Structure 1
Amino acid sequence: MRVYLGHTWGGLLWMLLLLASSAHAVVDEPELIRRDLFTYNTQGRDLLIDGDIAYVAAGYDGLYILDVADPAQAQVLAHVDNNAFELDGYSLFTVTKDGNSVFCGFRSTVGPFGDGYLKVVDVTNLYTSGPVVGPSDLHLSFGFITPRGRATGSYLDPDTKQLYMALRLAGLGVIDVSDPTDLKMIGRYSPSSSEEYQEVLVIPEHNRAYVGAWVSRLLAVDTSAVAPEDWSHIQFNGLSGSTRNWYMETDGQYLYAPVADSPSDNTFDDGLAVYDLAPNFADAAVSPELVGYAPIPLEQQCESAPGGAEEGQVGSDPGPHQIVLTGNYAVVANGCKGLAIFDISDPMNPIYVKSYEVPLEYDLPYSVIKTSEYPWSIAVKGDFLISVGVSQSGATGNDLVVFRVSPDVDTDGIVDTIDNCPTIANDDQADTDQDGTGDACDIGDLDLDGISDPQDNCLVLANAGQRNTDGDAFGNRCDPDLNNDGVVTVVDYLILRSRLNTNDPHADLNGDGSVTVVDYLILRSFLNQPPGPSGL
């Protein structure tokens, strides 16, 4: 799993774990935990989770490596600062990983122009000698007059070992990382247009890359040509006006893109757009189709909300950022207004549900102002939703903020704690007999032996132990067919009689350890009938 954290002002790192929700309403405000893990100068830019380890691109503070086996008790395992990278003045902005190699994308931070670097950290001996910055790197600098190549987002194809890197005004770079000690630039797609390549999501099986291009919104890149220089792209059709897109997520059919309004036009268009990718899969010259849009209410939009200016979110990059899909919901990091929750059970009709705000409080005992941690990027880790966020330097705290997630084992969008059938998907929660167990799980037990009928090898005769010594579909209690010819006859009677007063397991129908007249009476009740019935 990987999560990308994008452009912002300098700020501090935090993680947020969100309590999940039912199919009909998001649960009430969950309990919040705040812990202090990072330095005052930490700038959270990106988050990658691999098993129980999280890799955090911390801007000018370098790379943090965390133990998130229990996210609520996350601890710092290692910190590789920028001195170790020998990149003073560069911000670590994006991380990807393959095996024991962590690929770190850096960018200069002055305006839209500037160069970048790709560095490699070897974590083979993470728990012994610690992480090591490798010898290989790439200087990402393109352009004759003004350098361009600021690394802002990346995607690693694990099959081809190709790293796709969004390089802002330098386009989309493709790097061979199959040998981490010898990085090689395969090529770069850099059309003459001035789109800003901020983030990239690749769907290799369709030869498509989708780019969050900020003021240019979203781009669909046809990657079917071998050389990146021969690729082509189109801009998405859809929302009009000065909206911006950076982050996106897909379920393979639909692309979900948080929409950030331009901070200068005062139209307040923040929300979630949903695109059907099928038209673009079929024809690279056809835009994905905008099929749904849900606005965030005005009072929950960061740019327009009361106090937005004081919270450091107006005039730069306010509004929605990273997105995660979980069950029937999309959760969007929404800057100073916390998290925005959308119901996407019908992708063509996404619905804004509510927002969770991270409250202000004194970050340290000696703090003179209250601060908060603003959501920026989100990922799922087991029973937790983890988010990394940054905001304006000095305006926020640097806590770890935790919300526990309720699991949803059957993935029907209903968390287990309130699901009336937690093991079988039933998003309608139908319960015809109103007994508290959903119809999908409310399976009968005719003989009241505690074994549900589909699993009971004797449907009408109680046999809680399910004893079945001959291994057929019928338990001994309802299987006097001792010769297994499909019907109980005098032949079976003669077999049983020959075993009277023995401990023969097959003729011991009632399982009391001995073949007696009681077993004969059971057999007699089945004469000229098949064994069973069985639910198996």
Structure 2
Amino acid sequence: MTFAANATTATVTIDPTADNIADPDETVTLTLASGTGYTVGTTTTVTGTINDDINPPTPTFISKYDTPGWAFGVEVVGNYAYLADYDSGLQIIDISNPSNPIFKGNYDTDGAWDVEVVGNYAYIADGSSGLQIINISNPTNPTFIGNYDNFSAVVDVQVVGNYAYLANGNSLLQIIDISNPTNPILKGSYDDSSGFADGVQVVGNYAYIADYFSGLQIIDISNPTNPILKGNYYSSGNARDVEVVGNYAYLADYDSGLQIIDISNPTNPILKGNYYSSGEATDVQVVGNYAYLAAGGGGLQIIDISNPTNPTIKGNYQNNYDYAFDVKVVSNYAYVAAREGGLQIIDVSDFNDVNESPTNLNLSNNTVAENSPLNTLIGNFNTTDPDTGNTFTYSLVTGIGDTDNSLFTIDGNQLKVNGLLDYETQNNYSIRVKTTDQGGLSYEKQLTVSVSDVNENPTNLNLSNNTVAENSPLNTLIGNFNTTDPDTGNTFTYSLVTGIGSTDNSLFTIDGNQLKTNTPLNYETKNNYSIRVKTTDQGGLSYEKQLTVNVTNIPEQRISIDKNAITFGTPLSQYRQGWSNSNLVRPKFADTFRYIDITNTGVNDEDILAISNIEVKASNVTTNADFSQGDILLNPGQTWRVQLTYAPTAARESFNLNDGLVIHSNAINNTAYNIALTGKSTFNSDITYNGKVDRGDLAPLQAAFNSSIGGSKYDPTADINGDGGINLGDFLVLTSDYGLSLF
């Protein structure tokens, strides 16, 4: 602001920037204040108004598609517009290129007034033919599925869940169960003979009926079998259609234009505002701050409803040759069912200043390593939204896919770890995230966070067996190592390492995964041995553990025998003075006994020597050992004497066996103890034991002749026939055998 010389006043000019967005008028305020070097006469605030319609937005014709008859209703889903054509039924138009709509398919009905599309089905309000259900999964060939014929005048339909709600002329509201589309069934109805239902919308537990004669009817449908009138607003004209948004019902009234009804109290709806259209209002759709009114000959009228008490027109498209009967607004386009004018496509992007809901939600990265610490960043959220410049907040919410929400947290637009994520327990985690724009509109999505496998340390080490018998030889296998590890499929190596518990490492060795002895271990010296073992996986991660090897006591019974060899012979020196003992044995001389002493040289109480058998391999040798009652048991230090008898049956027997006698036992030093046996027999008449019968045998016979057992001269070795006396009988035997020789 600049003051001319000596001037006391100046003019303030406010120059707002023009745009193409239709907003309400705005108020500007101006307050002057004193400053350095000057003062103002008044500080009173002054106000002014900025009218934002200097460059008013304009709806623009894009294209049209002429249907064979009169287009009364339109629905837009994806790339298709579905037209209810009174004369040709359902018309399916490809609108992927709005400037060039193309016919895709058709199903002819009797008199189509309106259409609603849900999933693969189009629901046709078909006048006197009732409700027609058409399969549109193949748009080029729509097919009949089922119908409900009520013999009245169905002019509007809305589908919610398993029910189709019909605006049915004089019958007002009919509720049809469509859970089986091939056989729709009447569930309930509300009939007001004084009215005529032209339009219906269902929100929550209420159906809002545009009643041609009675205005707005509000029906409680919480019990579909028994709908009940809740409230009513009588409009000043003829109600044709209704749209409900929030606490307001927007009524397209044929004579009165747009009526805005406060329905916050359904029992007492109240008029809030009204815009008197220049045409005949037959349909309305509300998007943001605008109501799009199909106003018959008045064309498409766009009403600013940001102030419900004072709705004002902001734009209009009118073709004097067409009649706007129904309208659907999707994104930047209004699709108008223009009766004989077919489908009209109007660009309404100038009015598309409303905040729209987000349409998608993504996570920049959805993979995190297992066992990541708390608050580890996983990825950043980003939102797809038709509006530019929007800002978003993100939150974890309950709903489908929220199973693992508690394990994560959101910080701004960042997803972070909030709990232990273990790959081996679970490798995919499901969360449900909500993105909300600055206007409160939101979008929810289930997302999957994948956990990557990380090589983890082994957690335990075990030995399949930790007991070994004492005195086991080198490299005796004790047991196999096995490792507990969170990771599957890992391989491990094992080693003895220094550390707590490694005291006896040197006494053992590891071969692969086997623990073996590296020296004999003596129970009496030490019966528990401590080692420290390390297991290492293929990634180099390890675990160490102290293990104990127990040595079991082995009984140490040992066998000792007083002689290793026995030669059977005759002790002549006992009977003949000056004679030497002989290594020959006569069959009838009984003095052929020999003895062995078997001793258990074990020292501990448990060192019991069990002799299980004495095996004699020499002919005509027997022992007095009796095993009929089982093994002969000898305690440590105990000796058992065994008698051996050689009783030859004839001369010329001979044996010399290193294993002539085998003693079988549990002795740890020798379980099969061999004793050599040697024996040879001569003739009964060989009194001199020289291996032949000759004159030399007469001398000992004569020296003892006529003696008997007990006599001083009796020599048992001279008793040839063994009758207990030395007499003529012995002489006769000698005479008979005279000349025999072993050589």
TM-score, with structure 2 as normaliser: 0.40
Question: Which residue of the partner structure matches residue 153 of structure 2?
Answer: 150
Distance change >3 Å, CA 120–CA 295, structure 1 → 2: closer
What is the deviation of 1:187?
2.1
Distance change >3 Å, CA 151–CA 390, structure 1 → 2: same
1:189 aligns with 2:190: yes
Of the three residues 230, 242, 257, the one matched with 1:271 is: 257
Question: Which residue of the partner structure matches residue 178 of structure 2?
Answer: 177
Task: Give 2:302's aligned amino acid.
Answer: I
Question: Which residue of the partner structure matches residue 73 of structure 2?
Answer: 46
Of the three residues 56, 60, 66, the one matched with 2:87 is: 60
Equivalent residues in 2 for 1:350-389, closer than 5 Å:
350-358=311-319, 360=320, 372-389=321-338
CA distance in 2, matches of 1:132, 1:173: 24
CA distance in 1, matches of 2:191, 2:252: 25
CA distance in 2, matches of 1:78, 1:401: 19
1:231 aligns with 2:228: yes
Question: Which residue of the partner structure matches residue 535 of structure 2?
Answer: none
SS for the counterpart of 1:170 is coil
CA distance in 1, matches of 2:176, 2:231: 23
Question: Which residue of the partner structure matches residue 166 of structure 1?
Answer: 167
Question: Which residue of the partner structure matches residue 289 of structure 1?
Answer: 270
CA distance in 2, matches of 1:183, 1:354: 42
Deviates more, 1:403-412 or 1:47-56: 403-412
Check the 8 A contact 2:74/2:335 in 1, yes or no: no
1:92 aligns with 2:121: no
Task: Give 1:64's aligned amino acid.
Answer: Q
Equivalent residues in 2 for 1:339-354, closer than 5 Å:
339-354=300-315
CA distance in 1, matches of 2:350, 2:179: 38
Question: Which residue of the partner structure matches residue 139 of structure 1?
Answer: 149
SS for the counterpart of 1:150 is coil
What is the deviation of 1:151?
0.6
CA distance in 2, matches of 1:330, 1:200: 17
What is the deviation of 1:173?
0.9
CA distance in 2, matches of 1:21, 1:175: 42
Question: Which residue of the partner structure matches residue 320 of structure 1?
Answer: 281
Question: Which residue of the partner structure matches residue 486 of structure 1?
Answer: none
What is the deviation of 1:353?
3.6
What is the deviation of 1:28?
4.7
Task: Give 2:61's aligned amino acid.
Answer: L
CA distance in 2, matches of 1:353, 1:81: 38
What is the deviation of 1:376?
1.6
SS for the counterpart of 1:336 is coil
Check the 8 A contact 1:410/1:423 in 2, yes or no: no
Question: Which residue of the partner structure matches residue 472 of structure 1?
Answer: none
Distance change >3 Å, CA 335–CA 231, structure 1 → 2: same
Q: Runs ≥4 in structure 1, deviation > 6 angstroms? A: none
Check the 8 A contact 2:334/2:345 in 1, yes or no: no
Of the three residues 235, 238, 241, the one matched with 1:244 is: 238
Question: Which residue of the partner structure matches residue 219 of structure 1?
Answer: 217
Check the 8 A contact 1:72/1:402 in 2, yes or no: no
CA distance in 1, matches of 2:346, 2:272: 34
Question: Which residue of the partner structure matches residue 116 of structure 1?
Answer: 129
Distance change >3 Å, CA 31–CA 279, structure 1 → 2: closer
Distance change >3 Å, CA 353–CA 387, structure 1 → 2: same
Listed as ranges, the gaps of 5+ residues in structure 2 are 1-19, 25-51, 357-386, 392-411, 414-743
1:71 aligns with 2:81: no
What is the deviation of 1:56?
0.8
Task: Give 2:264's aligned amino acid.
Answer: A
Check the 8 A contact 1:153/1:198 in 2, yes or no: yes
CA distance in 2, matches of 1:382, 1:341: 15
Distance change >3 Å, CA 126–CA 357, structure 1 → 2: closer
Distance change >3 Å, CA 288–CA 385, structure 1 → 2: same
What is the deviation of 1:58?
0.5
Distance change >3 Å, CA 407–CA 295, structure 1 → 2: closer
Task: Give 1:50's aligned amino acid.
Answer: V
Task: Give 1:81's aligned amino acid.
Answer: D
Check the 8 A contact 1:220/1:287 in 2, yes or no: no
Structure having the higher strand fraction is 2
Task: Encode CA deviations 1:348-405: one digit per residue, 9 max, x unaligned.
Answer: 22223453322x5xxxxxxxxxxx22222111222212111215xxxxx557454352
RMSD over aligned CA atoms reads 2.9
Distance change >3 Å, CA 22–CA 386, structure 1 → 2: farther
Task: Give 1:48's aligned amino acid.
Answer: E
Distance change >3 Å, CA 30–CA 169, structure 1 → 2: closer
Question: Which residue of the partner structure matches residue 445 of structure 1?
Answer: none
1:403 aligns with 2:364: no
CA distance in 1, matches of 2:124, 2:171: 18
SS for the counterpart of 1:341 is strand
Check the 8 A contact 1:256/1:275 in 2, yes or no: yes
CA distance in 2, matches of 1:104, 1:256: 23
Aligned residue pairs total: 317
CA distance in 2, matches of 1:117, 1:271: 28
CA distance in 2, matches of 1:223, 1:69: 37
Distance change >3 Å, CA 356–CA 20, structure 1 → 2: farther
SS for the counterpart of 1:255 is strand
What is the deviation of 1:124?
2.2
Check the 8 A contact 2:86/2:111 in 1, yes or no: yes
Question: Which residue of the partner structure matches residue 389 of structure 2?
Answer: 423
What is the deviation of 1:125?
2.8
The higher radius of gyration belongs to 2
CA distance in 2, matches of 1:95, 1:20: 32
- Percent identical pairs in the alignment equals 22
CA distance in 2, matches of 1:292, 1:407: 21
Distance change >3 Å, CA 356–CA 189, structure 1 → 2: same
Distance change >3 Å, CA 287–CA 331, structure 1 → 2: same
CA distance in 2, matches of 1:332, 1:293: 13
Task: Give 2:337's aligned amino acid.
Answer: V
1:101 aligns with 2:129: no
SS for the counterpart of 2:144 is strand
Distance change >3 Å, CA 387–CA 22, structure 1 → 2: farther
Question: Which residue of the partner structure matches residue 6 of structure 1?
Answer: none
Question: Which residue of the partner structure matches residue 32 of structure 1?
Answer: 61
Check the 8 A contact 1:333/1:339 in 2, yes or no: yes
